[in-house]
Structure 1
Amino acid sequence: MTKEAIEHIKHNPKYQELVRKRSRFAWTLSIIMLVVYYAFILTIAFDPKLLGTPIEQGKVMTVGIPVGIAIILIAFALTGIYVKRANGEFDDLSREVKAELEKELAKETK
């Protein structure tokens, strides 16, 4: 790819929109996951008895087991949400940027 093509891409408003939306969305999902994970870790650090409490009196399973499973499921869900949006909106914007770049480069070669 030439420097000229790279400059066309960088200055394309749809490319800038793509980068802005994708970055904001990725950071939002990352922050959600970090809050969930660190809340779990801080609970273990400052109130380990809470997660070690049995779900029912006389049972072996503690509160920590379903909480841990929920954290794993949240991670899978956030990944799925990102993939769905990436394969939809972000791919559409990428295709539009590519089509516009091809048009601009075709004009310049004429």
Structure 2
Amino acid sequence: MAHEIYARIRKNPKFHQLVKTRTRFAVVLSIIVCAIFYGFVLLVAFDPELIGKRLGSSYITIGIAAGLFQFIFFWLLIWWYVYRANGEFDRLNEEIISEAEQGK
């Protein structure tokens, strides 16, 4: 019985849409994270003077501010992924399972 349900799920166009949408979203987020993270690392490697500059008269440097920005930005990306996963992706997943159980 379970094998038939899995076969119906794989044949469902909504399943292919879910896989395509979720994969595209994950790839885009991965590219963004890698670009920001490795951009920071490359900036540290090739322009350490810039990273060491202070912001105004404070003790906070550009490097510290950029590092904090990364944490905040990555948390926002995580929130965005969870928001879509718990909304759009879960809704599509429930529809696919429901249709497979009904034999559609």
Q: Distance in 2 between matches of 1:103 and 1:12?
A: 12
CA RMSD of aligned residues (A): 1.4
Aligned length: 104
Task: Give the TM-score normalised by the residue count of structure 2.
Answer: 0.93
Distance apart, 1:80 and its partner CA: 0.3
Counterpart in the other structure of 2:3: 3
Counterpart in the other structure of 1:84: 83
Counterpart in the other structure of 1:19: 19
1:102 aligns with 2:65: no
Secondary structure in structure 2 of the residue aligned to 1:56: coil
Q: Distance in 2 between matches of 1:81 and 1:74?
A: 11
Counterpart in the other structure of 1:67: 66
Give ranges in structure 2 of 5+ residues lacking alignment: none
Task: Give the TM-score normalised by the residue count of structure 1.
Answer: 0.88
Distance apart, 1:48 and its partner CA: 0.8
- Amino acid in structure 2 at the alignment position of 1:4: E
Give ranges in structure 1 of 5+ residues lacking alignment: 106-110
Distance apart, 1:76 and its partner CA: 0.2
3-12 vs 33-42, which deviates more? 3-12
